[in-house]
């Protein structure tokens, strides 16, 4: 299930999907990053995005259809402003052929699986291979095991996922969109990886960062919501 409803991602009136922006350095203190989320249906991709952008969790949300677009700006500890342009893709098999439209040209990709479902881990490996074949050759990839709050139901070990991530040049982290555990770290580490092409060292997570603007848009570009709030990379609910 997704945490936001959406429609197939076509730009209204153009007949084309406009997703070609990559990392763009606007000036020394402003960066714009295109990021895509990939993974099987029901792993919680939309819930992760909703938690990051709005600080919310909706257990009764609708399935993502096609893809949804959200943007969110944060300020890092060095006062750099980073705007994420996030494409949240649908996990259903019938939409798999649309995914290249979103991950081609992306500078960061978050591949999500459910730690309680081994089949979703296999699907995550499929998406990693697709990114390696057809994605940006210098794309920063994160392997994210979601639903860490369901530890008692775990069927994919941390060790197995960590080994797979390391062997494929990814960084690995487990999250819980429900409790917010490690959600902010995913995006902050993608940011650092995009800038330096390597993961951020955990010791740098101690500082906070501030959200400047966040919005969710239909693919026609109409903004529905915006907010400004203070968050901490290790927040809990």
Question: Using alpha carbons only, what angle is made at residue 139 by residues 136 and 144, rounded to the nearest 5 degrees?
Answer: 130
Which CATH number characterizes residue 150's domain? Answer: 3.40.50.300
Residue-level pLDDT at 203? 29
Arithmetic mean of pLDDT, 188-205: 53
Instruction: Label the pairing between strands 230-231 and 30-39.
Output: unpaired
Residue-level pLDDT at 69? 83
Calculate what percentage of the chain has a pLDDT beyond 90: 41
Question: Distance between CA 231 and CA 209 in Å, rounded?
Answer: 7
Neighbours of 62 (CB within 10 A): 13
Task: Let me know if residue 55 belongs to a domain.
Answer: yes
Task: Let me know if residue 65 belongs to a domain.
Answer: yes
Asked if residue 36 has pLDDT above 70, the reply is yes
Task: Let me know if residue 17 belongs to a domain.
Answer: no
Task: Let me know if residue 58 belongs to a domain.
Answer: yes
Considering only residues 222 and 145, tell me which one the structure prediction assigns the higher pLDDT.
145
Residue 171 structural domain: 24-213
Q: 14-28, 67-81, 117-131, 160-174: lowest mean pLDDT where?
A: 14-28
Residue-level pLDDT at 142? 95
Residue-level pLDDT at 202? 38
- The number of folded domains in the chain is 1
Task: Let me know if residue 34 belongs to a domain.
Answer: yes
**Token digits of residue 134:** 């057809």
Considering only residues 79 and 166, tell me which one the structure prediction assigns the higher pLDDT.
166
Task: Let me know if residue 154 belongs to a domain.
Answer: yes
Task: Let me know if residue 220 belongs to a domain.
Answer: no
pTM for the full model?
Answer: 0.73
Residue-level pLDDT at 66? 56
**DSSP assignment string, 91-158:** -SGGGGGGTHHHHTT-SEEEEEEETT-HHHHHHHHHHHHHHHHHS-TT-EEEEEEE-GGGGGG--S-H
Q: 41-50, 65-74, 114-123: lowest mean pLDDT where?
A: 65-74
Residue-level pLDDT at 124? 96
Neighbours of 83 (CB within 10 A): 19
Task: Let me know if residue 92 belongs to a domain.
Answer: yes
Considering only residues 2 and 114, tell me which one the structure prediction assigns the higher pLDDT.
114
């Amino acid at each position: 299930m997704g945490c936001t409803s959406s429609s197939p991602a076509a730009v209204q009136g153009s007949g084309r999907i406009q997703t070609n922006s990559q990392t763009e350095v606007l000036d020394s203190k402003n960066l714009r990053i295109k990021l895509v989320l990939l993974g099987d249906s029901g792993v919680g991709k939309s819930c992760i995005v909703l938690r990051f952008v709005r600080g919310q969790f909706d257990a009764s949300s609708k399935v993502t259809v096609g893809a949804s677009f959200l943007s969110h700006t944060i300020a890092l500890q060095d006062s750099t402003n980073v705007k994420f342009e996030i494409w949240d893709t649908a996990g259903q098999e019938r939409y798999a052929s649309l995914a290249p439209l979103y991950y081609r040209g992306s500078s960061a990709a978050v591949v999500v699986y459910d730690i309680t479902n081994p089949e979703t881990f296999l699907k995550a490996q499929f998406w990693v291979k697709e990114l390696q074949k057809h994605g940006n050759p210098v794309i920063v990839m994160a392997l994210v095991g979601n639903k860490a709050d369901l530890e008692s139901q775990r069927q994919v070990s941390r060790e197995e996922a960590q080994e797979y991530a390391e062997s494929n040049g990814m960084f690995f982290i487990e999250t819980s969109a429900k409790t917010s555990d490690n959600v902010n770290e995913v995006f902050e580490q993608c940011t650092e990886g995009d800038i330096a092409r390597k993961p951020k060292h955990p010791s740098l997570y101690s500082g906070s960062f501030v959200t400047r603007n966040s919005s969710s848009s239909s693919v026609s570009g109409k903004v529905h919501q915006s907010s400004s709030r203070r968050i901490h990379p290790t927040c809990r609910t």
